[in-house]
Every structure is written in C-alpha cells, then in structure tokens.
C-alpha cells in the first residue's frame, strides 16, 4: 500500500512539473507572439461607433497594405487626414466603383448592394449624402460606421479631392476591443463584402493566442497547486489517524 502511494506521489509530481512547464511555454509563447503580431491602440473618436467607440482600447493586427480587404477596420496615417493615426472601415479598393445609395439605402460596390449589419439601427441609409466614385489603383476608400458623424473619404470627395488613402498608409487591422471590460470582444466579420473579388479577411490568430495564454495560465496554476494539495491532504490523514506513506515506510523499517 505504501509503495503504491509513493509511486502515485511520484507520478503526481511528474505530471505537476509537466503541467507547469507546458503552461509556461503556452503562456509566454502566446504573450510574445501577441506582442509581435498586434499593436494596442486607443480609438480617438466615435466615428466608428457602434463597432468601436471613443476611448476604446483595441488590438490591431500588424499588416501591410497589400493584405487589406474590403470590410476591414484599419488603423492608418495620412497627411491628407491630419497625419494622425485614425480608424476607419475599408469599403472600396483600387478599381472599385463605390456609390450610395440604392433604393433600400444600401452602399453599392461594383454595382452590388452591401449588407452592413454593424451600422447602428437608427441609420436609415449607408450615407446621408449621395456619391459615386471610382477608387484609383493602390488606393482605399474609407468610411466610418457612424455614417452621419464621420469625417472620411466622402468628406474629401465633396471638397473635390479623390478622398482615398494609399494602401501603404495602413499599419494595422483592428481585430478586437480589449477595454473597457463590458466591450471586450472581437469585431464581427464584414460578410456583406464576401462576394466581392478577393473576399474578406479571416479572423487571424487572435483567439488562438487568447486560448494559448489563458490555457497556459490555468496549467501553471493547477500544476503549482499540486504540492500544497498533497501537503494538505497528508495533514488531514494524520489528524484522522491514517499515516502518510512516509510514516508507514519508516515504521516498517524500524520494526
């Protein structure tokens, strides 16, 4: 009986060490990869509400301009827009014809109506002002999700400017909101653009990294609790008059 207990103790300690080691790899690996692949950003205005709001802390996947797809919410910087980091949604890429609106108030991209469930329900149309433009090659046409209160490509278009932004002005694709707590979550996919050439962007590795770091933390905690749990149960056995494996072994030796 005592030999079985000792073997069980050794197996428990081995499993505990494996759990802690694996947990450290997952936690640290996930954290380092997340820091390498994502950049934090604080949203400065409500122009992208309700998807993201002023003061929200978001994570943006680091991407290059050629990776941008229609429907992406991107972080970009352009001298024509004040040369400050801004967040907008890509609704058109080079070669697209973007117009508003059809009889149902929907945005038209290459003549196809786009469903945009991420807009506020109070938005009666994809834009309160009509427009029809062709996006130059290598450029992006951007709009805020708050279509009645967003300075975006439409504003510059109304001033006689192209209103577009170069692809290489983009530094990140917003994946998730991480603060405040009541708004934590990933952004919904812009599936309305899925049938356009090139489709839409995937979700990226965000949730995989979340599960890796979270799972790693759980393994570290559970593995670390093994020792205290064994000592606690051993003391309980002694109080109940049941000797621990080491006590039983010593008694057998002296006898």
- Which of the residues are catalytic? 47, 88
Q: Is residue 216 part of a domain?
A: no
> What total number of domains does the chain contain?
1
Domain that includes residue 138, residue range: 38-205
Q: Is residue 139 part of a domain?
A: yes
Q: Is residue 99 part of a domain?
A: yes
Quick one: 170 exposed, middle or buried, by C-beta within 10 A (0-12, 13-18, 19+)? Answer: buried
Q: pLDDT at residue 254 above 70?
A: no
Q: Is residue 220 part of a domain?
A: no
Q: Is residue 118 part of a domain?
A: yes
Q: Is residue 200 part of a domain?
A: yes
Q: Is residue 11 part of a domain?
A: no
Predicted confidence (pLDDT) per residue in 179-198, tens digit = 999 998 899 999 999 999 99
Task: Kindly write down the DSSP assignment for every residue of 35-77, as one continuous string.
Answer: HHHEEEEE--SSTTTTTS-TT-EEEEEE--GGG--TT-EEEE-
Quick one: 113 exposed, middle or buried, by C-beta within 10 A (0-12, 13-18, 19+)? Answer: middle
- Check if the beta carbon of residue 59 is closer than 8 Å to that of residue 35: no
- Check if the beta carbon of residue 74 is closer than 8 Å to that of residue 174: yes
What's the confidence (pLDDT) of residue 80?
A: 81
What's the confidence (pLDDT) of residue 6?
A: 58
Q: Residue 81's domain is classified under what CATH number?
A: 2.10.109.10
What's the confidence (pLDDT) of residue 34?
A: 81
Predicted confidence band of residue 243 (pLDDT cuts 50, 70, 90): low
- Check if the beta carbon of residue 196 is closer than 8 Å to that of residue 109: yes
Q: Is residue 238 part of a domain?
A: no
Q: pLDDT at residue 252 above 50?
A: no
Q: pLDDT at residue 153 above 70?
A: yes
């Amino acid at each position: 009986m005592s030999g079985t207990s000792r073997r069980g103790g050794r197996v428990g300690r081995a499993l505990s060490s494996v759990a802690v080691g694996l947990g450290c790899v997952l936690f640290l690996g996930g954290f380092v990869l997340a820091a390498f692949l994502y950049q934090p950003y604080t949203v400065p205005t409500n122009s992208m509400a309700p998807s993201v709001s002023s003061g929200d802390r978001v994570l943006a996947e680091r991407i290059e301009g050629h990776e941008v797809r229609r429907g992406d919410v991107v972080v970009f910087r352009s001298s024509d827009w004040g040369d400050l980091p801004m967040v907008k949604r890509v609704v058109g890429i080079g070669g697209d014809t973007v117009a508003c609106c059809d009889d149902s108030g929907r945005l038209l991209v290459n003549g196809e109506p786009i469903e945009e469930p991420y807009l506020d329900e109070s938005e009666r149309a994809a834009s309160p002002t009509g427009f029809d433009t062709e996006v130059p090659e290598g450029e992006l046409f951007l709009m805020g999700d708050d279509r009645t209160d967003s300075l975006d490509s439409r504003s510059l278009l109304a001033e006689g400017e192209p209103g577009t932004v170069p692809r290489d002005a983009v530094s990140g694709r917003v994946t998730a909101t991480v603060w405040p707590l009541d708004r934590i979550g990933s952004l919904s996919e812009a599936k309305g653009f899925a049938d356009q050439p090139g489709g839409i962007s995937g979700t990226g590795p965000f949730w995989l990294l979340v599960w890796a770091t979270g799972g790693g933390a759980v393994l570290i905690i559970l593995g670390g609790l093994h020792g205290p749990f064994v000592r606690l149960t051993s003391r309980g056995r002694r109080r109940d008059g049941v000797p621990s494996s080491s006590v039983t072994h010593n008694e057998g030796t002296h006898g």
